[in-house]
Amino acid sequence: MKRRGFPAAARKALRNDQLRGNLALATGTIRERRAKAVDERPDWEELREAGRTLKLRVLRHLDSYLVQFERAVEAAGGHVHWARDDVEAGSVVARLVAEAGATEVVKVKSMTTDEIGLSEQLAASGIEVVETDLAELICQLAGDPPSHILVPAIHKNRTEIRDLFRRTIGAPDLSDEPRELAEAARLHLRRKFLSARVAVSGANFGVAETGSVCVVESEGNGRFCTTLPQTLITVMGIEKLVPSVEDLEVFFQLLPRSSTGERMNPYTSLWTGVTPGDGPQEFHVVLLDNGRTSVLADEVGRQTLACIRCSACLNVCPVYIRTGGHAYGSVYPGPIGAILTPQLSGVGGDASSLPYASSLCGACYEVCPVKIDIPRVLVHLRSRIVAEKAGGAGERIAMRVLARAFADEHRYERAQKLGRAAGRPFARKGAISHLPLLGAWTDARDLRPVARQTFREWWRTR
Amino acid sequence: MRVTLFVTCLTDTVAPEAGIAVVRILERLGHEVEFPPAQTCCGQMHLNAGYRREGRALARRFVRVFADAELVVAPSASCVGTVRELYPTLADGDEAMAREIDTLVPRVFELSELLAGRFGLEDVGATFPHRVTYHPTCHSLRVLRSGDAPYRLLRAVRDLELVELPEATECCGFGGTFAVKNADTSAAILADKVRCVLDTGADVCTASDSSCLLQIGGALSRLRTGVRTAHLAEILAAEGR
């Protein structure tokens, strides 16, 4: 069978033993930490419910919250720009950087800027982007796309990182001790922080009431970026709002415990517009749609926009932990990527293999801090793909034939008998080890043939 | 009581011994078993694969076939999960269908739910002298939330040695059409499940779903491990050997 999309990329990734080992170790560690951090909270289920309720409320009234946010940002001395898509957002940012007279920007780790390919867009305008998150820096130096939402370089182990640093930013005798590796990155980045005139960030949250923007992080690189440069540009998806500052308390508990397995993340930066004499004196927010309003229009799919990018679903997904993030061919990998990317880019498009990259085991739903019913959305997206006839023709025919057989017990019983006769030449001692058309199954495992006596045949003999 | 069996299309066709076992257990406990021959498939495969229209037609059929049943039992956590979780999303404004679904859903049980939950039983009179490990399927664990019901039933089986399965809550990689559409990934997930089963030293791996057992059993057989699968119902029906 010819494979394209996720199945083809996964097949390749599954052959990479180094990758499998790196992923199993890293996801296993984060999973344990998360489980411990979550078990500490007797009110975890109430917190999840509160997080979901808040996010869904914002989505229901998004139009008014966005306008409220815009007014508040401008009242506090900031500027708001609206971007319909990736290109519009990229050109706004490029123009702002040029107006600030800069040719280099430091960047806070951000999924949204990755989604719009901002670094590539800025590079095309002659602006160099320096990723300041350690793992993002590793990916940038290696020329690899990130492969995990929280841990973008999860596909690399420390020996691979040592070799990379030796080639790029480190001394030739650098060891693979995490401390030494971090120090090499620190020295490299410190120079960039001190010289940069413009920083670009994403946003974990925007507060509608006050116009405040919030970034949570672990390394302090974000704090440098949001305080040192003269100009700060934040690219934020329109779904990132919360109504008021108090609402953040729910997410400040849900997010670190779900993502890094910590009670609290080391750095939480929250700023409101511009403060004369303190921090950036120019502040811009680019509010990005890029498909989000069409996600919002889908009654089942819209809960996807409640995602707070914790990545807990990746670490428990039996598919992700074996294939890694690159197989998804999408900035957002794992279960959340499998529902978000096809909705943002259109279900019939390149990402149409993603909703099938799941066994529907439900582990993602169980850990999601805002209770996104990922299996339900996956199934819903599959039905949209089928409705648009974007799936395989062979499958469509097989499903139609089976539906016809199941629609009538006599036809169903004839189909059973036909299956029994067709399988007979292939069955040895109650097992079929090769069956044409079902090679995808029998390549790896035996198949049970149709029973000599089906249950209903036995029932009639009683 | 009168219990109506929904045997499921997969069990009917490739694993009838599990369906026969359900009949034996219930009759041994003094219940009357009924099997409406008009039943076919609950529509799980079509619904999960995105063939909603076809799945909805099968759901309609299921609701009609079992409308008069007092209690419906199925030896499959995923089929019962389909009825319980997906059927209520299928009415599409058809109020009669919504009502029929609402009245039927609370009467449909997976086997271990019926025995340990509804009937409050642990010992169902079985004897099975083997070393057994139990794989809690994703649907029994995360959709039906069967909890320890299957374990309590297994612990009460005479001469059975129950050994804990490492990483038990991990999926086996079946996932219906996933096993074929993403065969490589499915096989990689399965390989780890098989390794865990072999680590227990069990002679029999059991579960409450013929579909997961088709996947796990297919690999145990291909690799000539000498370990076999048996549906939970077969163990609970066994009377020695």
> Which pLDDT tens digit goes with each residue over A90-99?
999 999 999 9
Average pLDDT of the segment spanning A108-131: 97
Q: How confident is the model over B65-100, as pLDDT tens digits?
A: 999 999 999 999 999 999 999 999 999 999 999 999
Q: How far apart are CA B177 and CA B179, in angstroms?
A: 5
Average pLDDT over residues A181-197: 94
Query: B57 vs A403: CB contact, 8 Å cut-off?
Result: yes
Are the Cβ atoms of A362 and B143 closer than 8 angstroms? yes
Q: Report the gap between the CA of A360 and the closest CA in chain B (Å).
A: 6
Q: What is the mean pLDDT of residues A271-291?
A: 97
Interface contacts (A, B; CB < 8 Å): 186
Residue A129 has pLDDT above 80, yes or no: yes
**pLDDT value of position A389:** 83
Average of pLDDT values for B49-56? Answer: 97
Tokens found for residue A113: 């800027």
Q: Tell whether the model's pLDDT for residue A1 goes beyond 50.
A: no
> pLDDT for A29-73, tens place per residue?
999 999 999 999 999 999 999 999 999 999 999 999 999 999 999
Amino acid A300: pLDDT: 97
- DSSP state letters, A199-212: EEE--SEEETTT-E
B:45-64 residues touching chain A, CB 8 A cutoff: 45-52, 54, 57-58, 61
Query: DSSP characters for B24-39?
Result: HHHHHTTPEEE--TT-
Q: What residues of A are in contact with residue B184 (Cβ under 8 Å)? A: 7, 10-11, 14
B32-34 and B2-5 strand pairing: parallel
What is the Cα gyration radius of chain B? Answer: 17
If pLDDT is split at 50, 70 and 90, which confidence band does B182 have?
A: very high
Per-residue pLDDT band for A3 (boundaries 50, 70, 90) equals: low
Please report the sign of the dihedral spanned by the C-alpha atoms of residue B149, residue B155, residue B157, residue B162.
positive
Percent of all residues in chain A with a pLDDT value above 70, rounded to a whole number = 99
Q: Is the pLDDT of residue A258 over 50?
A: yes
Using alpha carbons, select from B150, B135, B146, B165 the residue that is nearest to residue B236: B150
Of the candidates B1, B233, B14, B19, the residue with the CA atom closest to the CA atom of residue B126:
B233
**CB atoms A359 and B174 under 8 Å:** yes
A373: its two tokens: 């019913």
Distance, in Å, from the CA atom of B168 to the CA atom of A286, rounded to the nearest integer, reads 46
DSSP H or E run through A241? strand A241-242
In the stretch 10-49 of chain B, residues with CB closer than 8 A to chain A read: 11-16, 19-20, 35, 37-41, 43, 45-49
- Tens of pLDDT, residues A398-453: 999 999 999 999 999 999 999 999 999 999 988 999 998 889 999 999 999 999 99
Contact A318, A267 (CB under 8 A): no
Per-residue model confidence (pLDDT) at position A393 = 87
- Nearest CA among B76, B207, B140 for reference residue B216: B207
Asked if A326 has any chain B CB less than 8 Å from its own CB, the reply is no
Q: How far apart are CA A201 and CA A259, in angstroms?
A: 19
Residue A339 has pLDDT above 70, yes or no: yes
Backbone dihedral angles phi then psi of residue B39, each to the nearest 5 degrees? -70, 145
Percent of chain B with pLDDT over 90: 99
**CA separation for the pair B112, B51 (Å, rounded):** 30
Closest C-alpha among B210, B224, B214 to residue B77: B210
Indicate the pairing of strand A205-207 with strand A128-131: unpaired
Rounded to the nearest angstrom, the minimum Cα separation between B86 and chain A is 9
Question: How large is the average pLDDT for residues A167-180?
Answer: 92
- Give the closest of A366, A386, A409 to B37, CB-based: A409
A426 touches chain B (CB under 8 A): no
C-alpha to C-alpha distance for A238 and A217, rounded to whole angstroms: 20
Residue A348 has a pLDDT of 80
State pTM to two decimals: 0.96
